[in-house]
Amino acid sequence: MARDVRVPMPDGVELIADLYRPRGAGPMPAVLIRTPYGKRQPVMRLYAGVLARRGFQVVIQNVRGVLGSGGEFHAFHTEKEDGLATLKWLRDQPWCDGKVAMVGASYLGFTEWAVAPYADPPLEAIGLGITASEFVSSFYPGGALALHNTLVWSSLMGTQDEKRTPFQKPAHDRRVRQAMRYLPVGEADTAAIGRPETFLREVTAHAEPGDAFWQETDHSAAVPGTATPTTMVTGWWDLFLRGQLRDFTALQEAGRQVRITIGPWGHDTKALRAMVADQVSWLNAHLNGDKAQLRRAPVRLHLQKADQWLDFDQWPPPETKPTPLYLSRSLVWDAADVSPNTEPATFTYDPLDPTPSVGGPLLSPGKGGQRDNTRIEQRDDVAVLTSAPLDGDLDLIGPVAATIHVRTSTGQGDLFIRLCDVDRDGVSRNVTDGILRIRDEGVVRAEIEMHPTAYRFLRGHRLRVMLAGGAFPRFARNHGTGEPAGRAVASRRTRFEILRDEDHPSAIHLPVWRG
């Protein structure tokens, strides 16, 4: 093993890397991993060790401005130039035979997308875990600011130079949670870690429509042209799921070699374990010629609550039929059952007492995923509609969306919609959700993209839709004033009217699978 190998960048900055190499080996392929979290982290050493023990030559590099690498860390913005320069340097080394693959998860996966579409010649293989070619849509899903995940990650990056014992971590996490209530949110970093943090400042300062600040960090347009064989692992509760499925679909429609595994996990260690096994098999196939590893369906997914793994040739499965579930006095499957005289469902959102969130795709371990929603559904600032009990199992596999006709008293607001599974005991648990920022007066036809899912509602269970004006602190509160999210302090209460009559049919569109 060679430590702190210096890799020169075109601007004179040097990035440091560790090289794991089998003893006595001649020139051979290299597996490149680029990380903002530090190459000496236990999980990174374990990751590299697993690959090295299987005969791979591994290079782990700290990205610019991180833990010994020169320059300034500017999240997402320098990974293309630095990644391509590192690739060129790597191919020029006498111990590399010119063949290079890349693997990683989350931000590490993003560094792969910053290189793979532009590498000439192409990379030999890439392995992508819980990641996407663009992260911007996860900063501002539906136009709302993803406060929880943004502040958690920025607080991590802003304190990684500090030596913190495991006993100090709970206090740090508590300060970060408390800081989510700080106003304006553009300065919540000072409450969380005691000083400004660049990433939080940039995300909150560039949250308005039409801002081109993040444009150069979006590699999604280059995905279809990526010729590198690609394997992906993600989870139904991962915050980058939608983007990763878009990347998979773009590659498959372009005729590229690609596969994906979607499991019952989130952005967590379970996903990482599955990812390592997946990437080892992919590297064996494309660097060592073990083609037996390729004999599986392009799509492998876990059907939640059925405890089944299913294989398909494409996403979504061709047997999936988009089916509307209409909002009326209750939830009904037939448009003819929508009453022409149904009054709007109403609720009032108060930014000073924001509707809380529970579960969902979160970065914090143990906080996300599927949770009991009963306490939130009992609040006055939500509308809840429930279906009749199912007379048989109902399987959903695919993208989920909603069309909601809504009017707000301020012409401003965030419409949050959540689909839940109500069991025979009346416990309501979240399955998928979505949010959309509204900026227009009058009746708005809100088209809301929700989280994709593969889920079985069991016979006797009921489907439930909850609507609210937010989900705090997962999303920053909407102040009802139209002021930019990062600077808003003053607030107005906003009354929501959810129209649900035959002239304004509101529905959630479900991917019913009949396999």
Return the DSSP state at 487: T
How many Cβ atoms from other residues are within 10 Å of residue 11's Cβ? Answer: 12
Per the DSSP assignment, residues forming a β-bridge with 327 are 331
- Per-residue pLDDT of 147-206, as tens digits, reads 999 999 999 999 988 776 666 788 999 999 999 999 999 999 999 999 999 999 999 999
User: Within the chain, what is the greatest distance between any pair of CA atoms?
Assistant: 81
In percent, how much of the chain has pLDDT > 90? Answer: 88
C-alpha of 241 from chain center: 5
Q: Residue 114 — φ and ψ, nearest 5°?
A: -75, -10
Q: Which residues sit opposite 398 in a β-bridge?
A: 453
Name the average pLDDT for the chain. 95
For the cut 80, the answer to whether the pLDDT of residue 511 exceeds it is yes
The C-alpha atoms of residue 279 and residue 379 are separated, in whole angstroms, by: 45
Whether residue 359 is predicted with pLDDT greater than 90 in this model: the reply is yes
Q: What does the alpha-carbon distance between residue 258 and residue 226 come to, in Å, rounded to a whole number?
A: 10
Predicted confidence at residue 160, as pLDDT, reads 87
Give the residue from 34, 30, 28 showing the smallest Cα distance to 15: 34
Average pLDDT over residues 118-122: 97
Average pLDDT over residues 380-403: 98
The pLDDT score that the predictor gives to residue 502 is 87
pTM: 0.96
Closest CA to 188 of 154, 211, 214: 154
Q: Is 184 exposed, middle or buried (0-12, 13-18, 19+ CB in 10 A)?
A: middle
Per-residue pLDDT, 340: 85
Helix (H) or strand (E) holding 498: strand 494-499
Question: What are 19-44's pLDDT values in tens digits?
Answer: 999 887 889 999 999 999 999 888 88
Quick one: which of 456, 400, 454, 471 has its CA closest to 235?
A: 454
